[in-house]
A = this chain, B = another copy of it.
Amino acid sequence: MKCITVKQPGGTDQLQVSEQPVPEPGSDEILIHVQATAVNRTDILNRENTGGYATTPILGVEVAGVVEKAGANVKVEPGTRVMGLVNGGGYAEYAVMPAGRAMIIPEELTFEEAAAIPEVFLTAYQTLFWLGELKREETVLIHAGGSGVGTAAIQLAKQLRAARVITTAGKAEKLDMTRSLGADVCINYKEEAFDEAVKQVTDHEGVNVILDFIGASYWEKNLNSMAVDGRWVLIGMLGGAMVEHVDLSQLMAKRIHLKGTLLTPRSDAYKAALAQAFSKDALPLFSTGKLKPIVDRVFPLDEIAAAHQHMENNQNIGKIILHV
């Protein structure tokens, strides 16, 4: 089968279309005939490093397609349209997936739209609700509002919790997108200090939850933006990992819960539970159009280098999809 592998750890020039045997599903897995997959930052990290979680040389952590074959313990009809997270191997014509994390694709969605859902919506769901414990009508600060996870999180916070959503982004088009998805306050972090803006719009109370993809460079401003008993979920370090001075007395005085997380290395059981909770709470809202996958652009699988470059240039708003 056709798939994407890496010659040597490095840049986009190391990506290659190659041939690998079709994988065989284990007894608790399904084999999926992949129709679309998507680009994630973790794929770029895996391309640049030899390390990583994958047990396959093929990149890619999420797919949408049809069930080709089910393992001995799995009851799914071949032909069923499914989407979900895979343990690597997504950039390929066929991929295996632990059956517990397969989610049925709502019939209103195309495969390209479906491939834009798993990683970002599950991450947003997990961080907002499981870790952030966002409650009805609380206020949440979502950084990188135009990113894949950002666009998913804005919608989930609005539709599932009627939350007040404050987002940051650095470009007018991204701010427009966050506004169109329902964000109540859209801050251009290049034009104003976001913590000052947050103080102003929350009457100095701060926000109950922060989704932080940025890390070190936003540390102080995030701390300033947190309400008492706030939950601060750290899911990325686009602004660096090393904070020079951390004042623990502020964490104590505000009784902040700071939670570091990564989705990819979590257990099969965790991902299955997450996919099931999401399927129950959120999937029906895709059928009614209250939630929508945000597709920035679709590339053919062969143009994988251009697709990676597009993400590295921060040009996308929403997901970069690969048509297989």
Residues of chain A at the chain B interface (Cβ within 8 Å): 215-216, 234-235, 237, 241-249, 251-262
A246 in contact with B247 (CB, 8 Å) = no
- Does A246 contact B249, Cβ atoms closer than 8 Å? no
The one of B215, B244, B246, B258 in contact with A257, judged by C-beta atoms closer than 8 angstroms, is: B258
Task: Give which listed residue, B245, B255, B259, B260, contacts A243 with CB less than 8 A.
Answer: B245
- Contact B242–A251 (Cβ < 8 Å): no
Q: Which of A215, A252, A254, A256 has the most chain B CB atoms inside 10 A of its CB?
A: A252
Q: Can you list 15 A-B contacts (CB < 8 A)?
A: A234-B248, A235-B252, A237-B252, A242-B248, A243-B246, A244-B244, A248-B260, A253-B260, A255-B259, A255-B261, A255-B262, A256-B260, A257-B257, A257-B258, A257-B260
Given contacts A215-B248, A234-B248, A246-B246, 5 further A-B contacts (CB under 8 A): A235-B252, A237-B252, A241-B247, A243-B248, A253-B262
B242 close to A246 (CB less than 8 A) = yes
Which listed residue (B242, B249, B252, B261) contacts A247, Cβ 8 A? B242
Q: How far is the CA of A246 from the CA of B241 in the complex (A)?
A: 8
Contact B244 A248 (CB under 8 A): no
Chain B residues near A246 (CB-CB < 8 A): 242-243, 246
CB distance from A13 to the nearest CB of B (A): 27
User: From A235, which residue of chain B is reached at the shortest CB distance?
Assistant: B252
Across-interface contacts of A249 in B (CB, < 8 A): 237, 241
Q: How far is the CA of A19 from the CA of B147 in the complex (A)?
A: 64
A29 smallest CB distance to B (angstroms): 25
Whether A234 and B260, one on each chain, are in contact in the complex, defined by CB atoms closer than 8 angstroms, is: no
Is A255 a contact of B248 with CB atoms below 8 Å? no
Which residues from chain B contact A248 at a C-beta distance below 8 Å? 215-216, 234, 237, 241-243, 260
| A251 surroundings in chain B (CB, below 8 A) | 234, 258, 260
**What is the CB-to-nearest-CB distance from A129 to chain B, in angstroms, rounded to a whole number?**
15
Q: Which residue of B lies closest to A266 (CB)?
A: B255
